Amino acid sequence: MDVCRQTRYGTRLRIVEVDANVNDDFIAQSGFLLPLLNYAAAHPGDTITDVFTTVDERTVDMNHFPKLLSSQIGFDVARTMLDGFDRHYRIFRDAAIRARTLFENGEWQRVQSLARERITSYDERVDECVVLLEDEYDAEHIDDEIWQQIKLHYIGLLTTHRQPECAETFFNSVCCKILHRSYFNNDFIFVRPAISTDYIENDEPAAKPTYRAYYPNQDGLAATLERIVTNFQLDCEFDDLSRDIACVMQTIHDAFGTFDEAPNFQIHVLSSLFYRNKSAYIIGRIINGDRLLPFAVPLRHARPGVLALDTVLLTREQVLIIFSFSHSYFLVDMEVPSAYVEFLRTVLPAKPKAEIYASVGLQKQGKNLFYRDLLHHLKHSSDRFIIAPGIKGLVMLVFTLPSFPYVFKIIKDRFPPPKETTREKIQQKYQLVKRHDRVGRMADTLEYSSVALPLSRLDDALIRELEREAPSMIEYDDTGNLVIRHVYIERRMIPLNLFLQNGSDADVDHAICEYGNAVKELMQANIFPGDMLYKNFGVTRHGRVVFYDYDEIEYLTDCNVRAVPAPRNEEDEMASEPWYPVGAHDIFPETYGTFLLGDTRVRHAFMQHHADFFDPALWQRHKDHLLRGESPDFFPYDRSVRFCNRYPERFTATATPADAVRESGANRDTARAA
């Protein structure tokens, strides 16, 4: 049977040797015809043989490439997998839409719950799809030829899809649950993207564009800024929008002075707000001549039901920090996520695309892109993985590739005293952090299984360390790779203990101030770090101190804050071990100075910035706030740039924002910096 199609370009395609059981509707429905028609438009006169010949010429080995899509099951499986992804993405977008209502109503606890639920939703949808495929199609026993066709059908179905890159990642997740690892790097999954994401937009008349363009030369800057804010149509009134717009304009003037407006002077603003904690962020860019400047405007409640612009962030570093790997993922509604990511890359060019996808809530897509980045880097580098510098941990074996800014962490097989834990408990702690609000103080982690690294790229000392400390986590395959069964990957930072050891007096002062702020903000977020040694914290490239060792982490509300009892006698006072009973969840802040204040410079900085750190009352006060259900305020920018602090004279005639009042009370412990 021959099936022919006449395209609008006048080119005929002939698909030969089609199975007699496959009808024309199936061929059209499969979506595979569309890529061929697109090819025909660019190559008039070619036949289907030419198409595959051209593909063959660009591919090393395409002998396994099916030149005929004849499997109805292949199409049905592909359609089922895409339906599973579409369900996932509907739920993903619904979460962002719900976040808007919760923000308007000031329901902060529900915002946190929503963020946690969304993180787990992806895996739940993948598991649903796997179960359906196994029940309906006995997916584990589908042969290789059909799997090849499933992928090609899936590609055809994605040609007009608005989230094709995320759908490809979903396909990979489902396949990796079904197929053996030997298939992970072959044509059954998307090792590289198959569908371009360039210039995807929803062209329907009622569709919301990715971003809106505003032209201040027409209506003036003040009117333009006000229209930018009101176009989001939030169901809340503003405390004094004219005052806030004046603060924005004053900040712009303070930063850039008087500037000439070029003919192309314009402001681009992403069409959806970015929700996190108690803020909704307007994200945009200013174009004037050949300059492109990022900006972010956080909206907050001045009091219940009444909004205010909290500040405007105008430097690339400030915007980078709100998108940092140490913050929780934003809730943002994106019909075309690749368009949002491309916009953000123009304002954050140094930030990897993988991290941008993760920051907007698509952490699985970010994880997929990170792994592609790793493979690409390995192909274009020659240095070797080595044991990470610093003090070795009792629980994790940590190594790094010097030319790649990440560390790889493997749970050891055995934990020497005083550690009393298990692999399962440690994994639970990392899951806790993944789902918790990280408030800019805990590093995000990427969790992988079955990661194959070229054995030739591993330092001999590292191989010996892996064989000694984690033999159950590694295996050697027959292609010259070392396969790591389970690994966490994090952004590389300077260990705080090394930073303090090598830093100047000013560096030490800054780092200790940051360390105290970090621990206090973790308290407010209901996190007790457990092991608070400096080696368990890192310094980012922006100078912020971030916690990254989670094996002893606990909820602060589960801890018993205690004062050290007075010694009963001289023997108690001289004892090397506590003379008083210590429960499993007891914490004694007074004792922390023993291991934190050994260095003279460190002690001086600590007592200057955080003398209250060792007072049990500080810790108990934060615990009490949490037990009362209070939601603390977190700011991913210095509080001094808040309009209420920067221009206090503008706020004297109106009510002071409620959280500015709280800043002098319950939050005075972290008022210096966030």
With bands split at pLDDT 50, 70 and 90, how would you rate the model's confidence at 613?
Answer: very high
656 in a structural domain:
no
The Cα angle at residue 269 between residues 238 and 169, in degrees rounded to 5: 115
Distance between CA atoms of residues 580 and 199, nearest Å: 67
The Cα angle at residue 635 between residues 632 and 504, in degrees rounded to 5: 120
Same domain? For 112 and 48 the reply is no
Identify whether 418 is preceded by a cis peptide bond (ω within 30 of 0): yes
Structural domain including 97 reads: 72-183
Q: Give the mean pLDDT of 123-139.
A: 95
Tell me the whole-structure pTM to 2 decimals.
0.86
Q: Is the pLDDT of residue 368 over 80?
A: yes
Q: Is the pLDDT of residue 582 over 60?
A: yes
607 in a structural domain:
yes
With bands split at pLDDT 50, 70 and 90, how would you rate the model's confidence at 578?
Answer: confident
Q: Which two tokens stand for residue 41?
A: 């438009």
pLDDT at 204: 79
Distance between CA atoms of residues 286 and 291, nearest Å: 8
**Catalytic site residue from 444, 549, 551, 669:** 444
Q: Which two tokens stand for residue 579?
A: 């003379």
Tell me the per-residue pLDDT of 217-227, one tens digit each, with 9 for 90 and over: 988 999 999 99
Q: In sequence order, what are the residues at sequence separation of 6 or more whose Cβ sits closer than 8 angstroms to the Cβ of residue 477? A: 452, 483
With bands split at pLDDT 50, 70 and 90, how would you rate the model's confidence at 341?
Answer: very high
Tell me the per-residue pLDDT of 660-674, one tens digit each, with 9 for 90 and over: 544 544 444 443 333
* More confident position, 186 or 15: 186
Domain count, the chain: 5
Same domain? For 14 and 79 the reply is no
317 in a structural domain:
yes
pLDDT at 48: 42
Last residue of a domain, one of 465, 492, 519: 492
> In this structure, what are the phi and psi dihedrals at residue 346, rounded to the nearest 5 degrees?
-70, -30
Same domain? For 218 and 366 the reply is yes
664 in a structural domain:
no
Lowest mean pLDDT among 73-82, 412-421, 555-564: 412-421
Secondary structure class of 550 (helix, strand, coil): coil
Same domain? For 251 and 369 the reply is yes
pLDDT at 50: 40
CB of 407 closer than 8 Å to CB of 445: no
Same domain? For 435 and 480 the reply is yes
413 in a structural domain:
yes
Q: What does the chain come to in residues? A: 674
Q: Which two tokens stand for residue 233?
A: 């149509």
Same domain? For 400 and 418 the reply is yes
Measured N-to-C along each axis, helices 221-230 and 241-256 cross at an angle, to the nearest 10 degrees, of 130
Q: Is the pLDDT of residue 27 over 80?
A: no
Same domain? For 215 and 337 the reply is yes
The count of other CB atoms within 10 Å of the CB of residue 558 is 11
DSSP classification of residue 386? E
pLDDT at 179: 83
Q: Which two tokens stand for residue 164?
A: 């094709």
85 in a structural domain:
yes
Distance between CA atoms of residues 385 and 401, nearest Å: 4
CB of 404 closer than 8 Å to CB of 377: yes
Q: Give the mean pLDDT of 32-39.
A: 46
pLDDT at 55: 38
* More confident position, 68 or 63: 68
Q: Is the pLDDT of residue 14 over 50?
A: no
Last residue of a domain, one of 131, 165, 183: 183
With bands split at pLDDT 50, 70 and 90, how would you rate the model's confidence at 545?
Answer: very high
pLDDT at 658: 54
- Hey, which residues does 398 pair with through a beta bridge? 409
Q: In sequence order, what are the residues at sequence separation of 6 or more whose Cβ sits closer than 8 angstroms to the Cβ of residue 615? A: 589, 590
Same domain? For 174 and 87 the reply is yes
pLDDT > 90 fraction of the chain, expressed in percent and rounded: 74
Radius of gyration of the chain (CA): 28
Tell me the per-residue pLDDT of 194-216, one tens digit each, with 9 for 90 and over: 999 999 988 877 788 999 999 99
Tell me the per-residue pLDDT of 454-509, one tens digit each, with 9 for 90 and over: 999 999 999 999 999 999 999 999 889 999 999 999 999 999 999 999 999 999 99
518 in a structural domain:
yes
Same domain? For 277 and 138 the reply is no
Q: Which two tokens stand for residue 266?
A: 């314009």
Question: What average pLDDT does the chain have?
Answer: 87
Q: Is the pLDDT of residue 275 over 50?
A: yes
Q: Residue 371 corresponds to which amino acid?
A: Y
3-state secondary structure 438-456: CCCCECCCEEEEEEEEEHH
pLDDT at 473: 97
46 included as an active-site residue: no
Same domain? For 219 and 350 the reply is yes
Distance between CA atoms of residues 461 and 474, nearest Å: 15
Same domain? For 241 and 286 the reply is yes
With bands split at pLDDT 50, 70 and 90, how would you rate the model's confidence at 65?
Answer: low
pLDDT at 323: 96
Last residue of a domain, one of 444, 463, 492: 492
Same domain? For 178 and 107 the reply is yes
> In this structure, what are the phi and psi dihedrals at residue 94, rounded to the nearest 5 degrees?
-60, -35
pLDDT > 70 fraction of the chain, expressed in percent and rounded: 86
404 in a structural domain:
yes
- Look at the alpha carbons of 435, 369, 316, 347 in this order and tell me if their dihedral is positive or negative: negative
Give the Å distances, CA to CA, from 404 to 138, 366, 408, 490: 41, 17, 11, 11
